[in-house]
Structure 1
Amino acid sequence: MTGVRALRWLTLTRHGESTGNLAWREAEHTGAEDAGIPERDADVPLSDLGRAQAEALGRHLAGLPADERPTVIVSSPYLRALDTARIALAQTSWAAPGGPPLRVDERLRDREQGVLQGLTARGVRRRFPAEFDRARRLGKFYHRPPGGESWADLALRLRSFYRDLQADAPGGRALVVTHDAIVVVTRYLVEELSEQEIMEIEKEPIGNCSLTRWHGDGGPLRAVAYNDSTHLTALGMPAATDPADLGPADL
């Protein structure tokens, strides 16, 4: 993707474990139709483990060599991502006053689910059988729930985001704090993958506070790490069912 190639480093991390992740795991375990999350998606907070993961992420970032430290930091506006960024950056010395400010960009928000928001796979099958069938026909990448977004829609808004990021910080080192679907679609864009390739990659859940990184020197970015959670080993990394991953393959 031409708009990303001018960056020197591009590092993405998913937010720490949220109370929503806990609710989704419980709903899937019990066979509920709805995850029962009381907050709107933008206001879902981190769990205690999620805050600890953000601190561990920050300690790892603090140890980066000087030539890998971010020169620009951008977060999703959703609370779980913003708090992850703030907690992590508080562990570093280079993010102190005078360092790169934390910016917010709404294009990094999680995928919008529309009428399917909060529903488990069982809930979609039972409450929206016609939509379930339509999703099966279209496939996860192109299926757009009523009032929501497809994965292709995410690609459109991310192309715009990365063009602006490259223009604002040519040759820069960017840290992006966001959501699992955004991490996956960024890989689709940076590595110029096909629908089939990215849907196969997407089957591996993105860990909370995991790191995905690319490096470049003015040419195409090269993959350095994908979904790397080794810096969180001491905390453990429970797999989280996230509504951004809901699609025909999961219904």
Structure 2
Amino acid sequence: MAELATLWIVRHGESTANVAASAAEESGSELIDVTHRDPDVPLSPTGEDQARATGRWLAELPEARRPDVAIMSPYLRAVRTAELALDGTGIPVSRDERLRDRELGILDGLTGHGVRRRYPEEATRRDRLGKFYYRPPGGESWTDVALRLRALLGDLRRDHEDRRVLLFGHDALVFLTRYLVEGLTEDELMALTRRYVIANCSVTGWSADGDGRLRPDVFNDVGHLQAQGATPTREDEVHAEPV
């Protein structure tokens, strides 16, 4: 079967919605103070610094390790991360809507407390079905996102065999890329989501082994941010792990 030489996925830099969501959860608010629609949420100043630091890391990779091509989510926070990180590298980049963030439907803009207060029946249904299969009205389940990501990975393997591919996406996409590439079970994937928060501008990657199969290299790594002098967001400081 056709396989990539290397695959990386980078979560976007810290966004203004990430900052607002943390503040809302800490204050016990029901609503996250965001006025943009989800595809239009921009990076925070910290997020822009993180993206530039990711670019310095890319520029320092040896030629034999540099990505041949990059593909980004069409959401502004991912697009801007890719633009800043790829500036001056010459790496061609394109957009693919299959890398967009998970759609939350009627739960969009609500904190966990807000969901329990405003839609208690949905909170109950989610607890019964489990995080993997629960689909909020008007939104997507994790399995829905996995289906579109599976199709994208199939196209990448066909169109970029033996090449190095870099993706820019969102936290759920990082977890689900591990799920698909490594053949994880639902229980294994959910254990990862309970243990880790995917850090902004973290790098997760795989390289082909001697049998041509992708094997994990690194997961949720932010060492390049620290090495390049960027400020990791609070969640970045404790969740990076080599594989």
Equivalent residue, structure 2, for 1:161? 152
Equivalent residue, structure 2, for 1:71? 68
C-alpha distance in structure 1 between counterparts of 2:218 and 2:179, whole Å: 15
Identity in percent:
52
Deviation at 1:115, TM superposition (A): 0.4
The amino acid across from 2:233 in the alignment is P
1:1-251 equivalence runs, <5 A? 6-90=3-87, 92=88, 94-95=89-90, 100-203=91-194, 204-217=196-209, 219-233=212-226, 234-239=229-234
Equivalent residue, structure 2, for 1:246? none
Deviation at 1:235, TM superposition (A): 2.7
C-alpha distance in structure 2 between counterparts of 1:37 and 1:216, whole Å: 41
Q: 8 Å contact 1:8–1:172 — kept in the other structure? A: yes
Deviation at 1:69, TM superposition (A): 0.8
In structure 1, the gaps of 5 or more residues are 241-251
C-alpha distance in structure 1 between counterparts of 2:164 and 2:92, whole Å: 13
Q: 8 Å contact 1:184–1:198 — kept in the other structure? A: yes
Q: TM-score, with normalisation over the residues of structure 2?
A: 0.92
Q: TM-score, with normalisation over the residues of structure 1?
A: 0.89
Deviation at 1:236, TM superposition (A): 3.1
C-alpha distance in structure 2 between counterparts of 1:235 and 1:35, whole Å: 26
In structure 2, the gaps of 5 or more residues are 236-243
**Comparing both chains, which one has the higher relative contact order based on Cα–Cα distances under 8 Å and sequence gaps of 6 or more?**
1
Deviation at 1:239, TM superposition (A): 3.9
C-alpha distance in structure 2 between counterparts of 1:123 and 1:152, whole Å: 24
The amino acid across from 2:17 in the alignment is G
1:46-90 deviation digits (Å, cap 9, x = unpaired): 000000000000000111111111111100000000000000111
Query: What SS does structure 2 have at the residue aligned with 1:66?
Result: coil
Q: 8 Å contact 2:4–2:163 — kept in the other structure? A: yes
C-alpha distance in structure 2 between counterparts of 1:86 and 1:235, whole Å: 17
The amino acid across from 2:232 in the alignment is M
Equivalent residue, structure 1, for 2:239? none
Q: 8 Å contact 1:205–1:239 — kept in the other structure? A: no
C-alpha distance in structure 1 between counterparts of 2:177 and 2:160, whole Å: 18
Query: What SS does structure 2 have at the residue aligned with 1:174?
Result: strand
The amino acid across from 1:235 in the alignment is A
1:143-162 deviation digits (Å, cap 9, x = unpaired): 00001011111110011001
C-alpha distance in structure 2 between counterparts of 1:205 and 1:179, whole Å: 11
Cα RMSD between the aligned structures? Answer: 1.4
The amino acid across from 1:110 in the alignment is D
Equivalent residue, structure 2, for 1:249? none
C-alpha distance in structure 1 between counterparts of 2:26 and 2:99, whole Å: 29
1:96-147 deviation digits (Å, cap 9, x = unpaired): xxxx421000000000000000100000001001111000000000000001
1:166-219 deviation digits (Å, cap 9, x = unpaired): 111111100000000000000000000000101011120000000001000562
Query: What SS does structure 2 have at the residue aligned with 1:12?
Result: strand
C-alpha distance in structure 2 between counterparts of 1:9 and 1:68, whole Å: 8
Number of residue pairs the alignment of both structures matches: 232
Query: What SS does structure 2 have at the residue aligned with 1:227?
Result: strand
C-alpha distance in structure 2 between counterparts of 1:219 and 1:165, whole Å: 15
Deviation at 1:237, TM superposition (A): 2.0
